[in-house]
Amino acid sequence: MMLTLKEIQRVLKPKNHLVLEEDQAIAKVEFDSRLVDTGDLFVPLKGARDGHDFIDVAFQQGALATLSDRELDIPEIYFWVEDVLEALQALAAYVLEKSQVDVLAVTGSNGKTTTKDMLAHLLATTFSTYKTQGNYNNEIGLPYTILHMPPGTEKLVLEMGQDHLGDISLLSKITKPKAAAVTIVAEAHLEFFKDRREIAQGKLQIADGMPAGSLLLVPADSMLDDLLPDHVKVKRFGEGGDLCFSNLEENRAWLRFQTNFLQESLQVPLPGKYNASNALVAAYLAKAEGVSEAAIAEAFQSLILTKNRTEWRTAQNGAAILSDVYNANPTAMRLILETFASLDREEGGRKLAVLADMKELGQESDQLHLSMITSLSSEELDRVYFYGQEIENLAKLAAEIFPLGSVLYYPTKDFEALSQAVCADLQPADQILLKGSNSMNLAKIVEALEGD
């Protein structure tokens, strides 16, 4: 940990008078009292429970000090601040400034975690690299990631998420990224945004904290043309952009393609044309940071991604499972259906799909679910299971188009019946796609198919 008690006092300027005779180093920072260990700084955030209720527990666990938004009558060291979350963010910003680590930031409606993982993997061939762990990509998780960065880190790859306009602006101002990328702008979290354009405005706020002349990669999407920041160096990627790929080959296990900025072709152990775009972004940023072309090409061969992103898995009976169950929005569902449709059937096998509700789409939810019908074809899918409340009308529409018996609908209350039906239906030569929002728990069906 790169923080001492006196540094915390200097950065936070607490309201209470502290005489720190000894400048002890903090072991680490924790906001969950159950994770506190000897020498830690406890950060009592307010959530479902007020973290201040667990300050005594944190000290029993061995905490060296705690933050607090109120005066405390305790013998232990505490820093009395106006807002605990803002104090956590201030400490993270201080650590970044002190360490002089290079921050590379990634956001986007789809693909940000995959791209983050790719970029960190490529950078790690040449630099000491740390990245956002799991989905710690918000106003709490991002500073927590920074404060858990190992000493000596040279490159820090941070994922930035948004639920509301302004979220990414805050994260960018905390971190001041040297380079950043927006992977794609899609209809995600429409419950909290007026429309896709406002989502785009939020994503492009990733530039708000970037120094002048920093590198920003943005899709060649015409909707973004008049939203681009003018104080950074913008490179567009995709069809008609500055950066693009060509000669794409793909099968169930990998993608192979060429880019217009690398001599060597790239082979990525992932399915889906959209992952070629993610890899292109990661490769360009890595090259800009000084990673050699040979290291980039070689590193993609050993890529490991955050669990539950798009991945092929194997059922207990040998059937192939395309699991994409972490999250869902219309663009992401359309892209994975496109990928699945492009695959040939195995000899004697079928192609099945389990599609569940896409959450946080607001008032447009029904219409956006119905729009998925253009991505469903009875020629490419032998059977489709629909699950959830918001997807019901899409299931009814699909039943009018698909052969009798090839569309099955299960309401939210019938999850166990759905799981049992899918497990009983899947044959060894089949391929099955599962796609839906994380809260729909399709990961449990994947586990059941694998026999876990």
Which amino acid is located at 336 in the chain? Answer: I
Q: Is the pLDDT of residue 189 over 60?
A: no
Residue 38 assigned as binding residue: no
pLDDT of residue 276: 93
More confident residue, 343 or 68: 68
pTM for this model (two decimals): 0.81
Residue 218 bridge partners (DSSP): 236
Residue 241 assigned as binding residue: no
As a whole number of angstroms, the distance between CA 335 and CA 340 comes to 9
Q: Which residues contact 392 (CB under 8 A, 6 or more apart)?
A: 386, 409, 411
Residues 354 and 434 sit within 8 Å (Cβ to Cβ): yes
Residue 137 assigned as binding residue: no
Average pLDDT over residues 284-304: 94
| Topology given in CATH for the domain delimited by 5-81 | 3.40.1390
Strands 320-324 vs 311-314: parallel, antiparallel or unpaired: antiparallel
Residue 114 assigned as binding residue: yes
Token output for 103: 């921050």
Q: Which residues contact 332 (CB under 8 A, 6 or more apart)?
A: 109, 110, 186, 188, 324, 435
Residue 111 assigned as binding residue: yes
Q: What is the pLDDT of residues 136-174, one digit of tens each?
A: 999 999 999 999 999 999 999 999 998 889 999 999 999
Question: pLDDT category, 192, cuts 50, 70, 90?
Answer: low
User: Residue holding tokens 């995709």?
Assistant: 238
Domains 101-300 and 311-450 share a fold: no
Dihedral sign for Cα 122, 144, 147, 36, please.
Answer: negative
Q: Which residues contact 383 (CB under 8 A, 6 or more apart)?
A: 350, 352, 353, 406, 407, 408, 425
Residue 112 assigned as binding residue: yes
| Topology given in CATH for the domain delimited by 311-450 | Protein-Tyrosine Phosphatase; Chain A (3.90.190)
As a whole number of angstroms, the distance between CA 178 and CA 261 comes to 20
Q: Is the pLDDT of residue 262 over 70?
A: yes
Tell me how crowded residue 335 is: count the other CB atoms within 10 A of its CB. 23
Q: What is the pLDDT of residues 398-426, one digit of tens each?
A: 999 999 999 999 999 999 999 999 999 99
Token output for 258: 């060429």
For the chain, the structural domain boundaries read: 5-81, 101-300, 311-450
Range with the lowest mean pLDDT among 94-103, 300-309, 355-364?
A: 300-309
Look at residues 56, 92, 66 and name the one whose alpha carbon lies nearest to residue 14: 66
Q: Which residues contact 168 (CB under 8 A, 6 or more apart)?
A: 107, 160, 161, 162, 202, 203, 205, 206, 208
Q: What is the pLDDT of residues 319-369, one digit of tens each?
A: 999 998 887 888 889 888 988 988 889 999 999 999 999 988 888 899 899
pLDDT of residue 309: 65
Token output for 428: 């060894």
Average pLDDT over residues 264-281: 91
As a whole number of angstroms, the distance between CA 267 and CA 250 comes to 9
* pLDDT mean across residues, the chain: 92
As a whole number of angstroms, the distance between CA 301 and CA 269 comes to 7
Q: Is the pLDDT of residue 103 over 80?
A: yes
Residues 351 and 430 sit within 8 Å (Cβ to Cβ): yes
Strands 77-80 vs 102-107: parallel, antiparallel or unpaired: unpaired
Main-chain dihedrals φ then ψ at residue 15, nearest 5 degrees: -75, -30
| Topology given in CATH for the domain delimited by 101-300 | UDP-N-acetylmuramoyl-L-alanine:D-glutamate ligase (3.40.1190)
User: Taking CA 194 as the corner, what is the angle to CA 159 and CA 362, rounded to the nearest 5 degrees?
Assistant: 85
- Terminal Cα distance for the chain, rounded: 38
Residues 107 and 206 sit within 8 Å (Cβ to Cβ): yes
Residue 152 assigned as binding residue: no
